[in-house]
Structure 1
């Protein structure tokens, strides 16, 4: 519950920050523009002259009054020299031509003249457009009329009401900017200028929720002692200060699941984060996240990756596998052998310029081959900048740009995305991946093929956007021809020349798994976050037990 509260509080704060920025920007615009500039009345001639009405111009009132019942108010005025009665009665308001006793009618020519009469600028009329139900630019006006367009520096538009022959409003480009500023400021995108509407009420509820959840989280932090300068360290902080090798990609937020430690002889109750990330079997074995617990003399805690060590790796080969993925091969610079298990990873130390200083960032990359080889192979997806204003991926750009013989620091092996060797010869082994997730899955497949001759070939479902991004395609096709592996490459983009499977890899895998006894499967999943989440949800939906699923999300 607390994990969900943190997640919701974080995203609520993002929405609120965006809206606060919109309030600041729109309010700043109001201050700069001023009321007159936002009104659209730059060239609106507000004063009007009325010529006197001759006695012979208008019909006598008794000749008109008998058309209406329950008359409440009557006004006599002139429209371009023609007298007009404005009669308020029980059924509404009527506009009557005082010379004919007929309802008032405004022609296009008259609308153009009325617009010109109300206009004080130097532009000229370029068009008159009849309107059947008003305009969205004039709030509350939904009657037939005309829009008169003026060619001037402000793109002026004048609206004339057909029933009354009056100028309804002037609009122009500055008004349009102001209208959007009002919509953003009042969160009223209907243009009704109404401050009391559902969206802003929802925003108020969201602000209330943000405040209450913040107080709850603050209370939890106070209870845990997070704000106490004399608080005890977490086990993650302790091992880091002791220069022990322990991985973390979320900075101690309890979301990456990399900083596992083992509690021996008793373990504290799991937190919400641990219950969401660790399996039941891992919890029962005493595994916990070191960032979630503070030092306690009553517990005996040890690292899970006791064989990890710091190394200097020298690049000996850089091969482009796909347009976006490089295969990088290293050897330890000091000539030592590194023992690791398929599915594990190394944490690379990437130097990064930060102003006048150079800082080190950590990036995790999985081994792309099974163990027992003198060279260490990794696949790295090179992340280009989406545009010129953004920086490319720091780690991938640095590693893919290394020259032969150059070195980089790393620590490992780390991680526990390993084969379930206890059931390797009994259950069908299924691997589902995409993108750079090929690295640990390829290593696991190689390891599984070396360990045991299974009764059924391994099943490997691998997704990519197009044919050119299918890593190690020929290698897996060769294994399939040897009947050691069933390879199911899937592409998601439309390609008329592709004769294989198309769609999303988790959906293709689902169709196959549903034909199997799900209790006799071990499933290994690795790939992009969206694909990983969709695959895990799919496996849960069709009844594959969590204990039969192992996955690696690269600590994202």
Structure 2
């Protein structure tokens, strides 16, 4: 199957390039000036009628007896004089190889078309301002007229389009005119008809091969599609199969047998049995956390190669999200979390900024979940219809959405992960701050998960698995905490702040110093600003540094990027050895902040980050 995929991939590249060339050349054909493209810019179409005295003509019979055997004898006019044109060998078409003799019809003398006569014939056919600058006899293929196989005179004129007139050396026939416009059109024709060997014909080996390649592309695509169906990539009952898989833990202790559907990858299939592997990317193959060991001969994916060494791949290490049950008979689970699947009931949905909503859920059945601050849930987004603009948009926020094109769309089922924005010690609700990802234009769907969740109405429910604890504060540590975030990266950082405050109050322990650097574009984008200002004013251990990158003139606080504000204040916070850094936000924020901290000598172990991208 691997070689079929490779053939399909490279054929699609080749055929795709040719389709693009067809498109571009086709556009050119529709826009071009056909007179110029035919080389007739300076082609003279005047033909003077000459009356000859037939009584003076030499008898054709005597001409035929004096010349080599001929198959055709015809009378033609060249430069106002009559000639007999004898064809000794006749090709299928006149541009094919023909053997001619030219005889003066008055004198019976054989005439050779020399350069002087060729120049005269070319000048007669030419109506432009140029003068002859070169005359060449071509005895091989003519580049401007690749179908012309007979010896031909090329006469070049010094006009602005570099006209060349071609005169057939045997018959005096004007083969044609060519100039820069025609040569450009010839290139377009070559690309359009795949005449890369310059045969002057669309009936060439390249097109025949292209037809076979296209057939191969169709066949390999069909084979691949059927294979994906049997592997469970399509929800078609015809292809669905239930497979028994034996599970082992990382110590090779048997965990029993489970039945997995070929419709689901191993990661999702295990969830149906309340077995949750670590996964921060929701099954996209980017985080590399859902490690399992299966049969080493199982095909590898690009995601497998990205996260495992060659030695590990040979041992059978694979990502569960990249493989299906028909790939395995037994599977070793490297790491299993305590996360479970839950039905969550939405109790509240409120805008906390023009583009971010606070969603509050309760677990159906009333059981509160226990988790460390910074945990996240993985939501199962069902296939549904959506809209790029929130359906229930408050009047005061509508101006912020005027530039967003309203787009109704449909999306397939998927999963998305979102961090919990509260501490388990402060509420029995699961709170999320989710940014509604808008679409930049109508050809791109908006954020499927964020749009679906933020358009839910209170009382509706959605399934989610978790909590997953990947990002959390160090336990039994009194070091200063520096939190850096932006946008909806607020969620896990807010939960860390609530957790640390609650722990100090609950256990009577000294509070840890917390410095919270938060970035937003405008003041309206600052989440929970009043809450953090209040906490900073009433708690000497909490310090709040809001920073705006697009502040208006009324903003009195810090401006710029939050990572820059951190760098300005870093030396005044504490000794670097006594600081733990917690980061959550866009990739650029994360990359620049980590690079800055590393340059200042901060150890990797002191930097914890949650890249929600």
Deviation readout 1:142-178 (Å, 9 max, x if unpaired)? xx998xxxxxxxxxxx899xxxxxx975599x97996
1:546 equivalent in structure 2: 604
SS in 1 for 2:563: helix
CA contact (8 A) 1:519 1:544 kept: yes
2:101 equivalent in structure 1: none
Pairing of 1:396-545 with structure 2 (within 5 A): 396-423=450-477, 425=478, 427-452=479-504, 457-482=513-538, 483-493=540-550, 495-513=552-570, 516-545=574-603
Deviation readout 1:365-414 (Å, 9 max, x if unpaired)? 21111112122211111123333343332221221112222222222211
SS in 1 for 2:483: strand
CA contact (8 A) 2:523 2:551 kept: no
1:381 aligned residue (435, 441, 444)? 435
2:415 aligned residue (352, 359, 362)? 362
- Measure the CA separation in 2 of the matches of 1:490 and 1:446: 21
SS in 1 for 2:37: coil
After superposition, the Cα gap between the structure-2 partners of 1:19 and 1:480, relative to the gap in structure 1 and judged at 3 Å, is: farther
After superposition, the Cα gap between the structure-2 partners of 1:260 and 1:551, relative to the gap in structure 1 and judged at 3 Å, is: farther
After superposition, the Cα gap between the structure-2 partners of 1:242 and 1:381, relative to the gap in structure 1 and judged at 3 Å, is: same
1:210 equivalent in structure 2: none
CA contact (8 A) 1:322 1:470 kept: yes
After superposition, the Cα gap between the structure-2 partners of 1:331 and 1:233, relative to the gap in structure 1 and judged at 3 Å, is: closer
After superposition, the Cα gap between the structure-2 partners of 1:31 and 1:404, relative to the gap in structure 1 and judged at 3 Å, is: closer
SS in 2 for 1:525: strand
Gaps of 5+ in 1: 1-12, 52-72, 89-143, 147-157, 161-166, 186-228, 263-270, 277-287
How many Å apart are 1:18 and its aligned residue?
7.7
CA contact (8 A) 1:234 1:295 kept: no
**TM-score after normalising by structure 2:** 0.51
1:136 equivalent in structure 2: none
- Measure the CA separation in 2 of the matches of 1:299 and 1:36: 63
Gaps of 5+ in 2: 1-7, 49-114, 136-157, 164-177, 195-242, 250-265, 294-303, 310-317, 387-409
After superposition, the Cα gap between the structure-2 partners of 1:41 and 1:403, relative to the gap in structure 1 and judged at 3 Å, is: same
CA contact (8 A) 1:433 1:461 kept: yes
SS in 2 for 1:405: coil
SS in 1 for 2:445: coil
1:341 equivalent in structure 2: 372
CA contact (8 A) 2:281 2:417 kept: no
- Measure the CA separation in 1 of the matches of 2:185 and 2:551: 45
After superposition, the Cα gap between the structure-2 partners of 1:23 and 1:273, relative to the gap in structure 1 and judged at 3 Å, is: closer
**TM-score after normalising by structure 1:** 0.55
Which range is displaced more, 452-461 or 462-471? 452-461
CA contact (8 A) 2:277 2:335 kept: no
Deviation readout 1:462-485 (Å, 9 max, x if unpaired)? 111222111111111112222332
2:55 equivalent in structure 1: none
How many Å apart are 1:510 and its aligned residue?
2.7
Pairing of 1:109-124 with structure 2 (within 5 A): none
SS in 1 for 2:457: coil
Which range is displaced more, 458-467 or 498-507? 498-507
Q: Does 1:256 align with 2:310?
A: no
CA contact (8 A) 1:431 1:461 kept: yes
After superposition, the Cα gap between the structure-2 partners of 1:446 and 1:334, relative to the gap in structure 1 and judged at 3 Å, is: same
SS in 2 for 1:487: strand
After superposition, the Cα gap between the structure-2 partners of 1:446 and 1:484, relative to the gap in structure 1 and judged at 3 Å, is: same
After superposition, the Cα gap between the structure-2 partners of 1:532 and 1:409, relative to the gap in structure 1 and judged at 3 Å, is: same
- Measure the CA separation in 1 of the matches of 2:285 and 2:356: 29
1:394 equivalent in structure 2: 448
CA contact (8 A) 1:36 1:42 kept: no
**Number of matched pairs:** 384
SS in 2 for 1:422: coil
How many Å apart are 1:24 and its aligned residue?
1.8
SS in 2 for 1:335: coil
- Measure the CA separation in 1 of the matches of 2:130 and 2:528: 88
1:244 aligned residue (249, 265, 275)? 275
Deviation readout 1:406-460 (Å, 9 max, x if unpaired)? 222222211221111232x1x2201111111100110011112222466773111
- Measure the CA separation in 1 of the matches of 2:130 and 2:497: 93
After superposition, the Cα gap between the structure-2 partners of 1:542 and 1:401, relative to the gap in structure 1 and judged at 3 Å, is: same
After superposition, the Cα gap between the structure-2 partners of 1:538 and 1:261, relative to the gap in structure 1 and judged at 3 Å, is: farther
